[in-house]
Structure 1
Amino acid sequence: MTTYSSQPILITADLMEPLIRCQSEIIRAIYLRASVLYAPGDLRVMDVDEPKPRRGSIVARVRIALTCGTDVKLYRRGHPFAKLPNIIGHEFVGVVEDLGEDVPDSYRGRLFVTMNTSPCGECFYCVRGRENLCERLGETIIGFTVPGAYAEMIEIPERIWRRYFYQIPPGLDLVEAAFLEPLSTVVHGQRILGGVDGEWVAVIGSGPIGLMHLQLLKLRGLMVAVIDRHWEKLDVAKRLGADVVVNSNEERPEDIARSINSGKGFDAIIEAAGKQEAWELAIRLVRSGGKILFFGGLPRGTSVPIDSYRIHYEEVEVKGAFHTTPRDVDEAYKLIETRKLRLRELVSGVMPLERVREALENMGRGVGLKYAIKP
């Protein structure tokens, strides 16, 4: 017969510490921390279930994630593609930790960067090489329709990683590698812009996107003027090689344009601010026969007044650019590997997962360019 002592058991501090540590490790094995957006403005860092790989998918530990202007918009006012509540964040680098059925074991442990979505490859637009217009693009978007990267771990659907899986070589900066998605959209935009007949381009907007456009234009040997309202961002543009910076709060960009090409204006304009007034400014700054790339999107239904005389009689060429294509992604990754771009200088600081809200709020107020989130 078993007997039990009625005497209390004294548990000393040296015994408690390993017990607490063991309990914490058990909890961490079951739950992970993540930043979940429940509704616009309602962002919570909380415990979530550890993702399990489904057939064909992989699960990775997030090494670094980057904030993005799209995430700021999603946090502030929602997004038509977003299914809430959901873990947000879509620019990241990870290490493969778990594999779904039919995934070769050789992928385990690989350090990699991927995209947040992938074209279907079969629809009307995909078969014509316009994968950025894929009719099924919105089905699977990391951080919008499936859980995102502001988390300790993430599941990457097969449709995405099978097309976009770039193993990161030793020595490549992980923060710079995480720029793959936004850089690929800039590469796409400049491909749509095409050649510039002349040497002067104005970039409207000195956020991370505008500053990547600046760097690619300088690699092409062009003269670049950057226009913005914030000296903090314009100072970065100067460091990155802008030939002229214009603070539109202090001087009229139109006056600068009159000093270009003997008063005729800029040969090309890249609008990268995503504001209606920036679209209208672009039309005023470009010379006859010049080009405008409208890169920054506006809400559906927004109308922008355009003088038809400029389009018809002055042959101003107007183009739009949205998202990216597989060939643009490949080119962007090759650019990152060359280390010719100073991408880390577009990151204003590193923050833990618990401070994602602060990072997005900062960006919304114009404080900082972009933040690296370290789970």
Structure 2
Amino acid sequence: MPSDPAADTTHLHQLADNIRREERRVLGFPGNLDFSLENLAPLLGVFFNNLGDPYSPDAANLNAKPYEVAVLEYFAAVAGAQPREVYGYVASSSSEALLHGLATARRMLPAAYVYASDQAHYSIRRACELLGMELVTVASCPNGTMNPEDLRVQALRRRRAGGAIVVATCGTTMLGAVDDITALRAAASAAGEVYVHVDAAGGGLVAAHTHPQPNWSFAHGADSLNVSGHKILGMPVPAGISLVRHELLSETAGGEYIAATDRTLACSRSGLASLLLWARLRSLGRTGMAALVGRCQEVAVYAVDRLERAGADPGLFPGSLTVTLTRPPTWVVGKWHLACAGERAHLVTVGHVTYAAVDEFAADVAAARCELLA
């Protein structure tokens, strides 16, 4: 039966208010909650459907493709490529973009194993299952990066498989570590031809603004990569960016009825996500983005100092926003929305994480430690 629209609207507004009240204490997950796009509310009354390739017109012509292309050109430059060198599209999430990269890799090396570290995101295993690719887990170094020597050994054992597909990580899930793709490509060559995909969901925009830059991008030998659109920028909806070297793509395909070429996974894609990404990038500009990342890195260093004083044994990969610590009691984990694995927890100092929040969190950690020692 039809409901009361006014009552439902009130309910949804209350939900939004409840989430807003929690935002300052969301420390453990890498989604920047500091954004303001309410002035774009009229966009919610328009259907923006980006059908097929961003670079191709389509029969419906209800799209925001020029804005999507502008977003892709920005991310291509950030990832060390010229726009003409890579094909890209705005995906529903970075995990979809990862799937697109691995599908491309499978076409290039259909019999190759996929190699990813024990610190890689679980979406890699899921993507391999969906694509029927066999995943080999490679050991990590103490700092969280993939171990090139173990990769070499694993690839050598499987050298008859017809090459190696390496999924490097730029910003590992728990430690924020950045794999050296130059070293990994050299190590995997023991198996023959090598394809390197970089899962840069959480760390791509950070690595691009870190000096000196780590070896993570197309400039360092990547064949494809995925970046999150919402984790560092801040967005009301998830989004991911897929970028692949042009020469590695399959032949142009598409549907006659949409009158567009299509090498995406989704076909119909959210034009609204592209518009929101474009608006965020325009509001920041290149200098603003660099300043945002720099401030986030400063807060991470500050958090290490405060947690060291609290006796929490903090750790920080150079340039990362991910600060690890000894796993605190359940009440601290719940209050601050921490991400945990085993005996460790982490916070991620994205844009909405303030110095004041770090101070309050460190005070809770210190208080909890005193309770345990009492």
Structure-1-length-normalised TM-score: 0.37
Instruction: Determine which structure has more spread, i.e. the larger CA radius of gyration.
Output: 1
Which of 1 and 2 has higher RCO (CA within 8 Å, sep 6+)? 2
